[in-house]
């Protein structure tokens, strides 16, 4: 393993607080992705970025925000507007060479009470 890291592994927050999840990669990949994984619902795409300083909404972007100021980093902020923030969050990266192979991080489990 290695190459793409997420921290922390577990995160606890009170309702109403924004929280930022970290994702870093040293694979020199241009593209990065954030997914949410809920039991029985598979992976759902939150945001993705194909190049620095650019990103697009995925299928469930409401209540989330991202930035892509550096190639290596793609932090995700879960805002207080996200109605059901408790979930497992996965970050991934890929080359932009039409192979589309994504390399996944270990994930962050966020619990909001």
Partner 1 sequence: AQRVTQPEKLLSVFKGAPVELKCNYSYSGSPELFWYVQYSRQRLQLLLRHISRESIKGFTADLNKGETSFHLKKPFAQEEDSAMYYCALWGDTNAGKSTFGDGTTLTVKP
Contact footprint for partner 1 (CB under 8 A): 1, 31, 33, 35, 40-45, 48, 50, 56, 58-59, 90, 92, 98-107
State in angstroms the smallest separation of the CB of 48 from partner 1.
5
Report the SS3 class of residue 58. coil
Closest-CA residue to 28 (of 11, 44, 4, 57): 4
DSSP count for the chain of H helices, then E strands? 0, 11
List Cα–Cα distances, 32 to 2, 17, 77, 81, in angstroms: 15, 25, 15, 23
The residue (of 100 and 113) whose beta carbon lies closer to partner 1 is 100
Closer of 66 and 112 to partner 1 (Cβ): 66
- Residue among 76 and 92 whose Cβ is closer to partner 1: 92
Q: Report, in Å, the least distance between residue 99 CB and partner 1.
A: 8
Least distance to partner 1, CB of residue 89, Å: 13
Cα separation, 4 vs 60, in Å, equals 23
């Amino acid at each position: 393993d290695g190459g793409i890291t997420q921290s922390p592994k577990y995160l606890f927050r009170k309702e109403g607080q924004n929280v930022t999840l970290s994702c870093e990669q040293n694979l020199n990949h241009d593209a990065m992705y954030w997914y949410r994984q809920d039991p029985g619902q598979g992976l759902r795409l939150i945001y993705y970025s194909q190049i620095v300083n650019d990103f697009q909404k995925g299928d469930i972007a409401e209540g989330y925000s991202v930035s892509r100021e550096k190639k290596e980093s793609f932090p995700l902020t879960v805002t207080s507007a996200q109605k059901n923030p408790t979930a497992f969050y996965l970050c991934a990266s890929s080359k932009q060479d039409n192979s589309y192979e994504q390399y996944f991080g270990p994930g962050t489990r966020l619990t909001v009470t």
